[in-house]
Every structure is written in C-alpha cells, then in structure tokens.
Amino acid sequence: MTTEPSTWVDAYGDRLYRYALSRVRDEGSAEDLVQETLLAAFKSRDRFKGESSELTWMTGILRNKIFELYRKQAREAPLAPAGDDDGPETEFFDARHWSAAAAPRDWAGEPALKAESAEFSAALGKCLGALAPNVARAFILREMEGAAPRAAAEALGVAPGHFAVLMYRARLRLRRCLEKGLFAPEST
C-alpha cells in the first residue's frame, strides 16, 4: 500500500529529479524521466509491498528508465567501433610516461572527504559535460549507476573492448578535470 499519489510530487519529485539530472545532464529529459517514473509507480502501486521505502522503489523504476533512455539513444545514434589509435592519450603521455604538463599531482587536503561533498557532485557534473557524450554515458552507467561492464556495454550498443576504451578515456579526462577544478587547482 502506497501513500496518497497526490503527495508524491512534493515528497519525492526533487530527489528523483536530482538523481535523473545527475545521470542525463539535461533538464528536459530529467523532468520527462521523473514524470514517466511517477506514472509507472502510479500504475503499479497495487504491487508495492512496502519491502523498501517508496523512494527506493521509485528510484529503482527511474534507474530502469535511465537504462531504457540510453539504449534508445544508442539505437538512434550507434557508435562507430573504437579504433586502436593513440590519439586521445597523446595529450597525457610523452610516449611511455606522463607528460610534465599532465602528470597527476597530489590531491591536497582531505580528498576522501571532498569526494563525498556536494562540491564534488557539482564539479563532476561540469566535467562530465565536457566529455564526448559516449564517453560520459559509459562513465555514468558504470560508475554512477553501478552497472556491470557487460550490461553497460550492451546498453550502449558497443563491444566489451570498446567499452573498456571509453572507460579509460573517461577516467583520464575526469581525473584531470577534477584535479584542475577541485582537488588541486593551480594557484593563479
């Protein structure tokens, strides 16, 4: 038995919206996902057994909707197979080693605490926005949604090897972007 559906928007709307927005990075799509989630919850409310909280139940529905959206985007704009070119990594490495400009620096202060902060979420959002969409989607499915690599690759319509390349590129770029913006900004 659920609470009165007319209370859901006020009770859960903002939290579902923030969740969706952090995963799809577009306000219109995030709002659509919240609406689809609430409607799906409304239709299946008789099956809600109260084994988890309503918010957890709705977040589960939302996560499925996010996967569906990614699958749809992958069908509409399939990715080209990943080449084994060295292009994207040359900005980080001089042949075998980190280039002087890109070498990872020590993250100052208490980085573990910083990674739990709202500041981190905001910086991550900004850094994800600077990635190529396919690279950002791979990272979101794997690291934010916790999807298994095979399931995430399947949702994106790519082979496991291609997915590994996308994750590698995402981690290299996000590491550098977060370092510059949050963890070890260069003094000006």
Partner 1 sequence: MSLLPSCRDVARHLSDSLDGGRHLGMHVRLHLSVCEVCRRVLAQFELIRRGAARVPEEGPSLTPESKARLRRALEPG
- Which residues lie near partner 1 (CB under 8 A)? 5-6, 8-10, 13-14, 17-19, 21-22, 27, 31, 34-35, 38-39, 42, 89, 92-93, 95-98, 103-107, 111-112, 114-116, 118, 120-122, 124, 139, 142-144, 146, 149, 160, 163-164, 167-168, 171-172, 174-175, 178-179, 183
Residue 147: φ, ψ to 5°: -70, 145
Residue number, 47 or 75, with CB nearest to partner 1: 47
Closest CA to 185 of 172, 126, 177, 121: 177
Q: Rounded to the nearest 10 degrees, how much is the dihedral formed by the CA atoms of 33, 34, 40, 41? A: 150
Residue number, 38 or 61, with CB nearest to partner 1: 38
**Smallest gap, in angstroms, from Cβ of residue 106 to partner 1?**
7
**Smallest gap, in angstroms, from Cβ of residue 143 to partner 1?**
4
Residue number, 23 or 79, with CB nearest to partner 1: 23
Distance in angstroms (rounded) separating the CA atoms of residues 19 and 176: 24
Residue number, 56 or 187, with CB nearest to partner 1: 56
- The DSSP-derived string for 78-109 is PPPPPP--SGGGTTTEETTEE-TTTPPPPPPS
Residue number, 69 or 140, with CB nearest to partner 1: 140
Residue 56, exposed/middle/buried by CB under 10 A (0-12, 13-18, 19+)? Answer: exposed
**Smallest gap, in angstroms, from Cβ of residue 77 to partner 1?**
23
